[in-house]
Amino acid sequence: MRFSLDQLQAFVAACEQGSFSAAARQLGKVQSAVSTAVANLELDLGLALFDRSRREPQMTPAAQALLPQVRALLEQASGLQGHADAMVLGEEGRLTLAVEESLIGPELEWMLVEFEQAFPQLELELLNPARMDIVELVKQGRVDMGLLVSTLEPPEGFHLRLMGEMTLIAVAGPKHPLSSRKSLLLEDLRPHRQLVLTSRGAQTRVSEQVGRQVWRIESQYGLLDLIKRGVGWAWVPQHMVSEDIVAGRLSRLNCDMGADRYHIPVDLLLAFTYLEGKAGQWLYQKIGQLSFLESKPN
């Protein structure tokens, strides 16, 4: 390849501005520099790009055919330079983040919008595996950072950061027998089918199981859909169902002595193979500011 990026930029500017003088003003160069750059590009390519027989140069068919490719090439070059500059500043080039579905919602989604604006060159892979599957993916190094409800297991094979606590509440469909009860004890929940989250490895938090009959569901959203249809009751993140309760699609169960809710830790796991950069540090700080996480560490 004999041509340069400066030649390609001069070519695109001349095409878009309609003259070498206007292209020079756009690029902040003298007209002779633009004219020379375009002429040298024609020599390097062996093609006439402009018809100079008129007062203003006219694009030839060859120029019209090459212009989209040249624009794409310049965009790629700009992206390459931006990516390299970001890495020089300590930003990761790529990051894989796994988030448990029970933590997803508008607030976390807006956080990711801010993340894109803060790190436009970074390539992000976002996964939503089940809870215990996240742990295994982090251990394997397949995932750099994993955000999940705590498994309460010792941090073996990864780094662990406590992010705070999330509130779970007991809910059922509006037509479920439990929803009509004004007062419930924990024992009243046991005879009714309970829906709990599970993973591909069939792991479930034993502390969440109250009902004698249990359905294990991998997806938090699938679990919520089944509850709305009256299949059973479940502990669910309060921030995920607040609108459904207000709209009457779900009913919050009225358990005595605060038994209708409990708090559960939320952890951020980091793979041993992950070298944390500015993007990871940004995520750590912003996740700690999510309003549905209580008792955040100092």
85 CB neighbour count, 10 Å cutoff = 11
The alpha-carbon radius of gyration of the chain (Å, integer) is: 29
Q: Apex CA 114: angle with CA 109 and CA 117, to 5°?
A: 130
* Cα separation, 235 vs 262, whole angstroms: 9
Asked if CATH classification 3.30.530.20 holds for the domain at 167-264, the reply, yes or no, is: no
Q: Which fold has domain 94-164+265-294?
A: D-Maltodextrin-Binding Protein; domain 2 (3.40.190)
Q: Is the dihedral of CA 188, 192, 195, 201 positive or negative?
A: positive
Q: What is the structure's pLDDT at 294?
A: 78
Residue with tokens 């690029």: 27
**Which residues, in sequence order, are bridge partners of residue 255?**
184
181 CB neighbour count, 10 Å cutoff = 15
* Per-residue pLDDT reduced to its tens digit, 4-17: 888 888 999 999 88
| Helix, coil or strand: residue 239 | helix
* Per-residue pLDDT reduced to its tens digit, 11-68: 999 998 888 889 899 889 998 998 998 999 889 888 899 988 888 888 899 989 999 9
Paired tokens of 100: 């448990």
Matching CATH number, 5-88, of 3.30.230.10, 1.10.10.10, 3.40.630.10, 3.40.50.10490: 1.10.10.10
The residues spanned by each domain of the chain are: 5-88, 94-164+265-294, 167-264
Q: Kindly give the parts of the chain with pLDDT less than 50.
A: 297-298
| Helix, coil or strand: residue 241 | helix
Q: What is the structure's pLDDT at 80?
A: 66
Q: What is the structure's pLDDT at 137?
A: 92
Query: Same CATH fold, 94-164+265-294 and 5-88?
Result: no
* Cα separation, 28 vs 69, whole angstroms: 24
What is the reported pTM?
A: 0.63
CA 202 to the chain's CA centroid: 26
